[in-house]
Amino acid sequence: MTVKTPDGICDAAFIHPARGAYPSVIVWADALGLRPSMRDMAKRLAAEGYSVLVPNPFYRVSKPPQFTTAASLDFNNPDTMTKIRPLMSSVQAAGAAEKDAIAYVAFLDAQPQVDKTKKIGTQGYCMGGALVMRIAASVPERIGAGASFHGGGLVTDKPDSPHLLAPKIKARMYFGVAANDDQRQPDAKDKLKESFTKAGVPAKVEVYSAKHGWCVPDMPIEGGAPIYRQGAGRARVEQARRVV
């Protein structure tokens, strides 16, 4: 299916229960985009009673799937990153995510499978974490909850850093931080907490004893062990999802 945006036509997966209207969720993919693993994650969420939209974040420059799986990729290979960076730049350009946010919310609110009396939830992985914050700030009256899992670039020294959007957000927010991300940027979690506390926006920030990417099932093996950790912090993740 497709969603019309100010910048073109976005390919997307829209997955929902067979009958009825349900609260909706927008899922922002990681840097590998809309692929089978993201569809499977949306199906799991839909089975719990949600209507789930998973856009192709790179629709401006590429059709999905840009990658069919992450399992065979070497993220330390320069060729891999050479392909990924232009894709990410297309959605990270100034104003891009904000325009997309308005279009995706309008699409969901027009669907009979969506209960428009309920707020919309949104969750994102890796680069999707920052996009969660941008959509929550762009459509604050409709976004009721947001969750970032191993989100990247949430706190930067630039004037458009996502953490500075806290005063514009009205949603309850959750941030699950990977241990190795926390090691690289140990002050990020504190700056996130400080921003949301000052803004008076409820937000919870937790560090997981897991590697970046632990939430996504098709992540590769690293150091002889899978990055994906199905049971890591499961109770806390379920609690965050119930908020959505």
Average pLDDT, the chain: 94
- The neighbouring-strand residues paired with 12 are 55
Amino acid at residue number 182: D
In one-letter notation, the amino acid at residue 140 is P
Q: In whole angstroms, what separates CA 68 from the centre of its chain?
A: 18
pLDDT at 223: 86
Residue 116 pLDDT exceeds 80: yes
Residues 226-241: what's their mean pLDDT? 65
Whether this prediction's pTM lies above 0.85 is answered by: yes
Structure tokens at 118: 């309920």
CA 103 to chain centre: 16
Contact 29, 132 (CB under 8 A): no
pLDDT band at 232 (very low <50, low <70, confident <90, very high): low
Contact 84, 39 (CB under 8 A): no
The per-residue pLDDT for range 17-49, each reduced to its tens digit, is: 999 999 999 999 999 999 999 999 999 999 999
Q: What is the gyration radius of the CA atoms in the chain, in angstroms? A: 17
Q: How confident is the model at residue 75 (pLDDT cuts 50, 70, 90)?
A: confident
Per-residue confidence (pLDDT) for residue 244, from 0 to 100: 46
166 Cβ contact list (under 8 Å, min separation 6): 195, 196, 198, 199, 201, 203
DSSP class of residue 53 equals E
Q: Are 137 and 41 in contact (CB under 8 A)?
A: no
Phi, then psi, of 200 in degrees rounded to 5 = 70, 25
Q: Could you tell me what percent of the chain has a pLDDT over 70?
A: 95
Range with lowest mean pLDDT among 23-37, 138-152, 176-190, 211-225: 211-225
pLDDT at residue 240, as a whole number: 45
Give residue 157's pLDDT.
97
DSSP letter for each residue of 101-114: HHHHHHHHHT-TTB
Considering only residues 193 and 233, tell me which one the structure prediction assigns the higher pLDDT: 193
Domain-by-domain residue ranges, the chain?
2-243
For the stretch 167-186, pLDDT in tens is 999 999 999 999 999 999 99
Whether the pLDDT of residue 242 is over 80: the answer is no
**Which stretches within 49-149 are classed as H helix?**
78-92, 96-109, 128-138
| C-alpha span between 81 and 119 (Å, rounded) | 36
* Exposure string for 20-47, b = 16+ CB within 10 A, e = fewer: ebbbbbbbbbbbbbbbebbbebbeebbe
Q: CATH assignment of 2-243?
A: 3.40.50.1820
* Amino acid 236: pLDDT: 47
What pLDDT does residue 233 have?
53
pLDDT score recorded for residue 191:
98
Q: What is the per-residue pLDDT for 230?
A: 83
